[in-house]
């Protein structure tokens, strides 16, 4: 990679109303051990109504010169993440070989980009020229969080809340269908015409499936980590669950092989319970009882490990909300077209 011909790596950050976290996000990317000439940062704003644009411009003004990587801010009139990422794919300098996915409410460590390139090299030895993407681990922020945010974190860590996707915790390098916070090879992205702009959410899941169908390989590596702020209110949590379910249906309609039986368990449990009830079986309440017991155990385990008594009820509540909102979203996805998300508002 010739440093004199421009950056070879670009971190792309679609944003909308990220004033709370965008400064920390950008500063973590500016303070990288990788030489500034080798990477750049592209922030793509979807018409934020808060101070996001002003904060980004302030960062740009304060960090100019050869000692800093280039930071650019561009407008995304279509607002969606898919449009933003395609805009980046089509406008980044020709020197850029790799696009790193990032979001405005996440941060990384100072060696993150060097670790990204090392992870790519390790996966390239296993996959060869068919390697299209390498994902990383997603970690919750260790800083003080609200009580609800702690419940959400625990719910996602629970076996009853894990999907094996974005929030999956893993320790081995290997192939995957659902890499998180991916570093993509630009040539592979161009080969499949980038992101499908009909997906307002789950555009990355759709892209991964199309890359796999085109014969590319996707890997994940546990060393690079992204620290992400999760939802901090029950309202946001409910909206997120519904949104994930809604767009999950859209993905499955296009890629049926992507389905996992676990995501339909709440629906199967409800149908089985109703069937037993209408059949007059006196033990129809067994399944809800087992389910409720499993939720309670999840809360007790977290409360015991982290000495947080409120988790005894808070974690089961968040798990129940996730299962219900996701299942309702699955049905809703059959009935409506999508619209921009509001679970970060």
pLDDT of residue 345 exceeding 80, the answer is no
| The pair of three-digit structure tokens given for residue 72, joined into one six-digit string | 């650019």
CATH class belonging to 3-232? alpha beta
What per-residue confidence (pLDDT) applies to 149? 81
Average pLDDT over residues 303-312: 81
**Whole-number mean pLDDT of the chain?**
90
Instruction: List pLDDT tens digits, range 94-111.
Output: 999 999 999 999 999 999
Domain with CATH 3.90.550.10 in the chain: 3-232
pLDDT tens digits for range 229-261: 876 789 988 998 888 888 888 888 888 887 888
Count of beta carbons in the 10 Å neighbourhood of residue 107: 19
* pLDDT tens digits, one per residue of 172-207: 999 999 899 999 999 999 999 999 999 888 899 999
pLDDT tens figures, 5-36: 899 999 999 999 999 999 999 999 999 999 99
**pLDDT, position 243:** 85
> What b-and-e string marks burial along 11-37, b requiring 16 or more CB atoms within 10 Å of the CB?
bbbbbbbbbbbbbbbbebbbebebebb
- Look at residue 2 in the predicted model and tell me its pLDDT: 40
Q: Give pLDDT, residue 283.
A: 87
pLDDT, tens only, 124-163 = 999 999 999 999 999 876 665 678 888 887 888 788 886 6
Q: What is the pTM of this model?
A: 0.82
Q: Which two tokens stand for residue 23?
A: 């400064």
């Amino acid at each position: 990679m010739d440093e004199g011909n421009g950056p070879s790596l670009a971190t792309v950050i679609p944003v909308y109303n990220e004033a709370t976290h965008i400064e920390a996000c950008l500063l973590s990317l500016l303070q990288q051990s990788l030489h500034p000439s080798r990477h750049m940062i592209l922030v793509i704003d979807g018409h934020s109504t808060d101070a996001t644009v002003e904060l980004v411009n302030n960062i740009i003004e304060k960090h100019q010169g050869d000692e800093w990587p280039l930071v650019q801010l561009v407008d995304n009139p279509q607002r969606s993440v898919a449009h933003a990422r395609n805009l980046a794919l089509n406008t980044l300098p020709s020197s850029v070989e790799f696009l790193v996915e990032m979001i405005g409410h996440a941060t990384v460590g100072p060696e993150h980009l060097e670790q990204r390139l090392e992870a790519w090299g390790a996966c390239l030895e296993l996959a060869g020229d068919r390697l299209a993407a390498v994902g990383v681990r997603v970690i919750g922020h260790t800083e003080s969080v609200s009580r609800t945010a702690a419940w959400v974190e625990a719910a996602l860590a629970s076996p009853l809340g894990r999907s094996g996707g974005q929030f999956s915790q893993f320790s081995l390098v290997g192939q995957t269908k659902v890499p998180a916070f991916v570093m993509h090879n630009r040539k592979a992205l161009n080969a499949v015409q980038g992101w499908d702009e009909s997906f307002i959410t789950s555009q990355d899941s759709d892209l991964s499936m199309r890359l796999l169908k085109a014969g590319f390989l996707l890997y994940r590596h546990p060393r690079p980590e992204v620290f992400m702020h999760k939802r901090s209110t029950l309202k946001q949590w409910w909206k997120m669950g519904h949104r994930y379910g809604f767009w999950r249906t859209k993905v499955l309609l296009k890629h049926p092989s992507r389905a996992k039986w676990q995501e339909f368990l709440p629906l199967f449990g409800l149908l089985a319970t109703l069937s037993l009830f209408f059949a007059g079986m006196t033990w129809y309440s067994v399944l809800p009882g087992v389910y409720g017991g499993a939720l309670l155990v999840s809360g007790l385990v977290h409360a015991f490990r982290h000495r947080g008594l409120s988790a005894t009820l808070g974690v089961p509540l968040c798990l129940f909300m996730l299962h219900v909102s996701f299942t309702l979203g699955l049905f809703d996805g059959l009935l409506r077209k999508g619209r921009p998300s509001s679970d970060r508002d």
